[in-house]
Structure 1
Amino acid sequence: MKKAMILMAAAAILASGLASADEVLEVHEDRAVGGGFGGLSGFMLGAAAGGPVGALVGGGIGYLMGQGAQQAAGLEQTLYVVKREDGSVARIRASDDRFLQGQHIERDGARITAAAK
């Protein structure tokens, strides 16, 4: 009797994992890290060289150059817009681009994997 209950509990746990898979709604290239780093660097250099106006101009130019540097280095990330099982929408950044729109994924913290079929 105990073995049957254990098997039923294991089957319920495995089945619930399949039902809780999230769905990828959109896939985008993401260069926010390079833009943020470049924008901050440009902001500080611009402020030192030209005061408040220099800070704004330097921040804008640094943001664009930071995105370009990240793209040129091949370090782009992928931004996934994901519909969770509860209907809410989340944005997940990952270093790979192997998931497609409409694909089901499972989240384990910051790590995402393809959902088992």
Structure 2
Amino acid sequence: MNKTTLISLVLLYGAATVGYADEVVGRAPNNLVGQTLGGWSGFLLGGAVAGPVGAIAGGLASAWVGGEAQEISGFSESAYQVKDDQGNVSVVRSPNRQWQIGDHVVVQGRRLHPSPSNV
């Protein structure tokens, strides 16, 4: 591979990763922590009391109760609906930072980061 091809590939890759910023289009409560803790607790308790059927029923019911309890208590985290440049909407958790509808962001992994154009 000669230098011209290598430089061209590096430049094309660099341009492709910049892309366009995604936009925050909605906000919803995220009760994943309560659902997880409730689900595991109910799974273990239901399994100890009623075997496999109790584990499944207890886990499902407790996951729902755990999520509702987290929301009612006011400890819900934030999840945001983000629309990408192709019009696809996805939900991304952001426990460490608040975003407003209309903010331009970049999704990296499972988290939101400010768009380079906003920095």
> So what's the TM-score if we normalise by structure 1?
0.65
In structure 2, the residue matched to 1:44 is: 44
Aligned-residue Cα RMSD (Å) equals: 3.0
- Whole-angstrom distance in 2 between the partners of 1:88 and 1:64: 28
Q: Secondary structure at the match of 1:64?
A: helix
Q: Could you tell me which runs of 5 or more consecutive residues in structure 2 were left unpaired when the two chains were aligned.
A: 1-13
In structure 2, the residue matched to 1:54 is: 54
Are 2:110 and 1:110 aligned?
Answer: yes
In structure 2, the residue matched to 1:80 is: 80
Note the alpha carbon deviations across 1:45-102, whole angstroms, 9 max, x for none: 112102344334422332134225544483x221111111233222211104621222
- Whole-angstrom distance in 1 between the partners of 2:26 and 2:42: 31
Q: Could you tell me which runs of 5 or more consecutive residues in structure 1 were left unpaired when the two chains were aligned.
A: 1-12
The one-letter amino acid paired with 2:29 is: E
Q: Say if 1:42 and 1:82 are closer, same or farther in 2 by CA, change over 3 A.
A: same
- Whole-angstrom distance in 2 between the partners of 1:49 and 1:30: 30
- Whole-angstrom distance in 2 between the partners of 1:23 and 1:73: 26
- Whole-angstrom distance in 2 between the partners of 1:33 and 1:93: 12
In structure 2, the residue matched to 1:94 is: 94
Q: Report 1:2-21 matches (<5 A).
A: 17=18, 20-21=20-21
Please say if residues 82 and 92 of structure 2, whose CA atoms lie closer than 8 Å, have aligned partners that are also in contact: yes
- Whole-angstrom distance in 1 between the partners of 2:108 and 2:35: 27
The alignment-based identity, stated in percent, is: 34
Please say if residues 39 and 58 of structure 2, whose CA atoms lie closer than 8 Å, have aligned partners that are also in contact: yes
> So what's the TM-score if we normalise by structure 2?
0.64
Are 2:32 and 1:32 aligned?
Answer: yes
- Whole-angstrom distance in 1 between the partners of 2:67 and 2:26: 21
Aligned length: 102
- Whole-angstrom distance in 2 between the partners of 1:110 and 1:60: 25
- Whole-angstrom distance in 2 between the partners of 1:89 and 1:67: 23
